[in-house]
Amino acid sequence: MDVTVNNYKITQNNEKGWVNAMKTIILFSTTYGCTKACADKLASQINGEVSVVNVMTDPIASIAAFDNIVLGGSIYMGQLQKKLKTFCTENINVLLKKRIALFLCCGLSENFEQSMHNAFPEQLLNRAVAKECFGGELHTSKMNLVHKMLTGMMTKVAAKEKKPPASLQPENIAKLAKIINGE
């Protein structure tokens, strides 16, 4: 028997009582892998069935079957990867019927609000049950030449301004997982 409470589907399990039977898909975009690592970490903390899909490389099956949809990507020069942006606009009608959570990986957490507005449609931002900044990492060894040079420049400016280097914020991954889990 299924019962819906606060948008969660709860299924009765004879041996253990009531268990959460929600289905979650995490759709992410990444350039150098930081967001993939965060998406995997998030998946490991979410209860129920979780699918993790890279929108840049993986085929995307229908999202209609999922209760929760988590969308996240990384920011380059203030913008999200185009593939995830396009996915959001093309699927906006289905997305607006779901429980939505959003996250970004970014080096400048002080620009998080602005980056969110550049990244996601207003309707999704209003609908989201969670919007989290997971911080960022600069994987210099994997970068193309232009990104390496820009990273060098950004790192020097940050050091001059005595700003800490980009780092991950695992506490915000845990926070988003808890919201999805309804804890």
Ligand X SMILES: Cc1cc2nc3c(=O)[nH]c(=O)nc-3n(C[C@H](O)[C@H](O)[C@H](O)COP(=O)(O)O)c2cc1C
Pairing of strands 23-28, 49-54: parallel
Cα 98 to Cα 148: distance, rounded to the nearest angstrom: 39
Q: Is 91 in the site for ligand X (CB under 6 A)?
A: no
Interface with ligand X (CB under 6 A), residue total 26
Q: Which of 9, 23, 83, 139 binds ligand X (CB under 6 A)?
A: 139
Q: Which of 8, 22, 35, 176 is the binder for ligand X (CB under 6 A)?
A: 35
Strand 79-80 to 68-76 pairing: antiparallel
138 binds ligand X (CB under 6 A): yes
Question: Could you count the other beta carbons within 10 Å of the beta carbon of residue 30?
Answer: 22
**Residue 35 Cβ, how far from ligand X at the closest point, in Å?**
3
Rounded Cα distance between 176 and 132, Å, is 7
- 71 phi, psi to nearest 5 deg: -120, 130
74 in contact with ligand X (CB under 6 A): yes
Residue 67 contacts ligand X per CB under 6 A: no
Question: Of 43-51, 76-84, 92-100, 155-163, which segment contacts ligand X by CB under 6 A?
Answer: 76-84
* Smallest distance from ligand X to CB 180, Å: 20
